[in-house]
Amino acid sequence: MASYATSAGIGVGLVTLLALYVGMTYCLTGFGFRFDVGWYLEAVSPYMWASTGIAFAISLSVVGAAWGIFTTGSSILGGGVKAPRIKTKNLISIIFCEAVAIYGIIMAIVLGNIIADFDYNNASREVASANYYAGYSMFAAGLTVGFSNLFCGVCVGIVGSGAALADAQNASLFVKILIVEIFGSAIGLFGIIVAIIQVTKIKMGKTAMP
Amino acid sequence: MDSLSFNINGGYLEGIVRGFKSGILKRTDYLNLVQCETLDDLKLHLQSTDYGNFLANEPSPLSVSVIDDKLREKLVSEFEYLRNHSVEPLSTFLDYIRYSYMIDNIVLLITGTLHQRHISELIPKCHPLGSFEQMEAIHVASTPAELYNAVLVDTPLAPYFIDCISEHDLDEMNIEIIRNTLYKAYLEDFHSFCKNIGGTTAEAMCEILAFEADRRAFIITINSFGTELSKDDRAKLYPRCGKLFPDGLSQLARADEYEQVRQVAENYGGYRTLFEGAGTNPGDKTLEDKFFEHEVKLNVNAFMQQFHFGVFYAYIKLKEQECRNIVWISECVAQRHRAKIDSYIPIF
């Protein structure tokens, strides 16, 4: 355990030192302008932003759902051996976790349908700017829904595991803990709502107008 | 962050252990058992609990030792199930639970060899949880030193021998001192293992093991009054992983009578209450009973948290306490001496 922490610490220290050295060199030799965030944002194609957003949307949601399902599922299996009555009721927790993956796929499909072709080299300023805006929006929407579903899935999973074990001991506890799970599930819903709002106004393609 | 990854390897077993725990006898079950007139009555009442028909195949005049053996068999089968389904680090943790029984078995075998008893008489008396492969081979040794060199050095307990006992000592030392020295090394090792695991396991287990260490220090001190155990020797037997280390232990090492031990306990909040209620008058609980009660309380608390290994240790200890309770009640029923039948330690 100690050697893990020290080698991780040494690694982080070396990387920071390197970054500091490179940064100071650029700064002090008058080439600071080369570190150009704006150039980077514009040079990367909007299709790249959009596609990465879609990837985050579905993959992080699935990670969250999977995490939640294994956490709850193993507890249901263990608790169900001595208290078989909990088996069916506790599948609700699994369904809550699964809902998180469904939000992810809905968002991914919605985002995927927005992508359209535009003439990358000859587009007018308005069309290009509308398309770039769309690309950035889709990336952000993907991150929004991906991360909120990730944490929502983990949360519902841990609560579901507690619900299964408590239900095995005392059947009246299940409904109370289900309320906690419902609140946990709501945060995933917030993520997809915000993501939808982020992409309502965007359009990609040759006729896109800002 | 135990809660994120514990269920990958431990979720199913934790569910199983909590299921076992719900089968531990409650107060109402004990009230039923206490009202039994005969051992067959007891058997009938136990049939409606989680024990089921475990005494079904026993011939009719039941004896308390048969009940004891069958209770133990059930505990052993549950433990074996858990151990077989576990992976690291839970499997090492469960092995540590086994080592305390192994120490008892080894001490039993050494005593038996010293008194020239045949190995086949001794093996059935050993606790099944503490069996190890080399048990059958113990008869090849005729002195404890040979025993160590030939057999014990291959068991998982070898490090505990190496640290504290040499071959020479094995021949000369009192058997109880060997037992306590081994147990001290085992407890300290287990404590540092739990600490290394960290997280909730360390929180739950270190508290339980610290109480176990302090309890042994108190009991060793009190039992050594009036024997020829010197104070230095006594101090070498105290496990150092409890709350009493280092000040309390050095004070205990200097104590000469019960009052001084009680003084040491005054300095530690949790232990003062244990000494207060205890006494040797007929209505009082003994100090040992208070210690058992406190241990049961700590073990029950381990179930209040999820995602840690403490529940496995706590379950085994609570089940053992339940076995002791049932055997106590059975003895009172069998001997028709019901005066102290209520001195079992209720768990839930």
Q: Mean per-residue pLDDT for B169-187?
A: 82
Q: Of A10-19, A201-210, B163-172, B307-316, which gets the smallest average pLDDT?
A: B163-172
Q: How far apart are CA B221 and CA B176, in angstroms?
A: 14
pLDDT of residue A28: 93
Range A172-195 average pLDDT: 95
Asked if the model's pLDDT at residue B164 lies above 90, the reply is no
Task: Please write the tens of the pLDDT for every residue from B224-250.
Answer: 888 888 888 888 899 999 999 888 899
- The mean pLDDT of B274-278, rounded to a whole number, is 82
Rounded Cα distance, A61 and A107, in Å:
10
Q: Quick check: B14 contacting A, CB < 8 Å?
A: yes
Angstrom distance (rounded) from CA B48 to CA B36? 14
Q: What is the pLDDT of residues B141-152, one digit of tens each?
A: 666 677 777 777
**Has residue A115 got a pLDDT over 80?**
yes
Q: Is B35 part of the contact surface with chain A (CB cutoff 8 Å)? A: no
**Whether residue B89 has a cis bond before it, omega within 30° of 0:** yes
Helices (H), A29-90: 37-43, 46-82, 86-89
Residues of A in contact with B14 (CB under 8 A): 75, 78, 165
Question: By mean pLDDT, which of B20-34, B78-92, B106-120, B239-253 is the weakest?
Answer: B106-120
Residues on chain A touching B4 (C-beta within 8 angstroms) = 67, 71, 154, 158
Residue B85: closest C-alpha in chain A: A78
Tokens representing residue A65 in the block: 């759902």
Q: In Å, how far is A4's CA from the nearest CA of chain B? A: 13
Looking at residue B144, its pLDDT comes to 66
**pLDDT score, position A176:** 94
Min Cα separation A16/chain B (Å): 26
Can you tell me the distance from the alpha carbon of B46 to that of B335, in angstroms, rounded to the nearest whole number?
Answer: 19
Q: State the complex-level ipTM.
A: 0.86
The tokens describing B319, both together, are 């089940």
Give the pLDDT confidence score for residue B221 in this predicted structure: 92
In this prediction the pTM is: 0.91
The number of residues making up chain B comes to 348
Mutate to test the interface with A, among B1, B9, B12 (most CBs of A within 10 A): B12
Are A78 and B306 in contact (CB < 8 Å)?
no
Q: Where does A83-172 have alpha helices with state H?
A: 86-89, 91-114, 125-169
Give B 183-202 residues with CB within 8 A of chain A.
196, 198
B142 or B128: which carries more pLDDT confidence? B128
- Say which range, A8-22, A34-48, A181-195, has the weakest mean pLDDT: A34-48
pLDDT greater than 80 at residue B30 = yes
Considering only the beta carbons, identify the residue of B7, B13, B198 that sits closest to A71.
B7
Work out how many CB contacts closer than 8 A connect A with B: 66
What residues of chain A have any CB closer than 8 angstroms to a CB in chain B?
A: 1, 67, 70-71, 73-83, 154, 158, 161-162, 164-165, 168-169
Chain A residues closer than 8 Å to B19 by CB: 78-79, 81-83, 168
pLDDT digits (tens, 9 = 90+) for A82-113: 999 999 999 999 999 999 999 999 999 999 99
CB B292 within 8 A of CB B212: no
Window from A183-192, B32-41, B313-322 with minimum mean pLDDT: B32-41
**B7 to A168: CB separation less than 8 angstroms, yes or no:** no
Q: Is the pLDDT of residue B178 over 70?
A: yes
Tell me which DSSP letter residue B119 carries.
Answer: H
Q: Which residues of A touch B7 (CB under 8 A)?
A: 70-71, 74-75, 161
Cα–Cα distance, A124 to A135 (Å, whole number): 17
Give the DSSP H/E element, type plus range, for residue B293: helix B287-302
Contact (CB<8Å) B11/A77: yes
Looking at residue B285, the DSSP 8-state letter turns out to be: B
